[in-house]
């Protein structure tokens, strides 16, 4: 009989501003570093915003107003370039303890794998691409992945496009590539909501990240 792992701690928010989310992640990462708490997964959503990763540039943000809607811009410590976040995305931040493993590539692989397995259950054939980190469907990016690692505690994670306003992506050069089109589950003809996606994703997250619990 398979050994039953306890489930990872899950924190869920309907929506969070980006600064609140980063503050929460940093607090959780500090607790894990000090062995005060176990690793966790944060499920959340952000209002429309662009974040600029450590290899991104302010000039990758082309517009801050799209269809009359203002989109806030935040510099962020995660790796990667410019990313859009907004309603219709499922944001999965994984606070992980990599002190034993010390392998960030493996961690990124697990984040991608969690999304790939989830999408397979929705009949979407997703995978990795030479074009960059993240999850892709036919050369279109369906999920952005970006992590920050401090003293081998990793945070940030994945933004999966369920049904966001894809027009908002036109305001940026995603991941520094001007010809990177993005897609979503909705654009691929799959009607799903965040609750439904979370139900499928969480068991995969538990399987993939179980080894990181103390």
In a domain, 195, yes or no: yes
Share above pLDDT 70 across residues of the chain, in percent, rounded to a whole number: 92
pLDDT at position 135:
97
Looking at the whole model, is its pTM more than 0.75? Answer: yes
What integer is the mean pLDDT of 153-176?
A: 87
Segment 151-162, tens digit of pLDDT: 999 999 999 999
CATH at 27: 3.30.930.10
Segment 17-48, tens digit of pLDDT: 999 999 999 999 999 999 999 999 999 999 99
Instruction: Please determine, for residue 180, whether its predicted confidence score (pLDDT) is greater than 70.
Output: no
Residue 61 belongs to domain spanning: 9-209
pLDDT at position 210:
83
Top pLDDT among 133 and 177 is at 133
| Per-residue confidence band for 53, with pLDDT thresholds at 50, 70 and 90 | confident
In a domain, 35, yes or no: yes
In a domain, 40, yes or no: yes
The answer to whether 175 is a known catalytic residue is yes
Mean pLDDT, the chain, whole residue set? 90
Helix axes 104-121 and 194-209, enclosed angle (nearest 10):
140
In a domain, 1, yes or no: no
| Of 75-84, 97-106, 174-183, the least confident | 174-183
In a domain, 214, yes or no: no
pLDDT at position 6:
59
Q: Which of 4-8, 123-127, 181-185 has the highest mean pLDDT?
A: 123-127
What does the alpha-carbon distance between residue 141 and residue 83 come to, in Å, rounded to a whole number? Answer: 11
In a domain, 2, yes or no: no
In a domain, 3, yes or no: no
Top pLDDT among 193 and 81 is at 193
Domain count, the chain: 1
In a domain, 66, yes or no: yes
């Amino acid at each position: 009989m398979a050994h039953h792992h306890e489930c990872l701690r899950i924190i869920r928010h309907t929506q969070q501003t980006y600064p609140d989310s980063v503050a929460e992640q940093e607090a959780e990462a500090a607790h894990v570093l000090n062995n005060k708490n176990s690793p966790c997964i944060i499920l959340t959503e952000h209002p429309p915003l662009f974040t600029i990763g450590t290899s991104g540039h302010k000039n990758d943000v082309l517009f801050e107003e799209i269809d009359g809607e203002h989109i806030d811009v935040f510099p962020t410590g995660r790796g990667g370039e410019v990313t859009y976040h907004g309603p219709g995305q499922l944001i999965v931040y994984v606070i992980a303890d990599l002190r034993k493993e010390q392998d960030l590539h493996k961690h990124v692989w697990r984040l991608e794998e969690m999304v790939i397995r989830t999408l397979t259950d929705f009949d979407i054939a997703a995978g990795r691409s030479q074009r960059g980190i993240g999850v892709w469907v036919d050369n279109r990016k369906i999920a952005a992945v970006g992590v920050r690692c401090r003293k081998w505690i990793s945070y940030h994670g994945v933004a999966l496009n369920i049904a966001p306003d894809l027009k908002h992506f036109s305001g940026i050069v995603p991941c520094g590539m001007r010809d990177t089109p993005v897609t979503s589950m909705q654009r691929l003809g799959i009607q799903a909501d965040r609750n439904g996606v979370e139900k499928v994703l969480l068991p995969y997250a538990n399987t993939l990240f179980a080894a990181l619990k103390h």
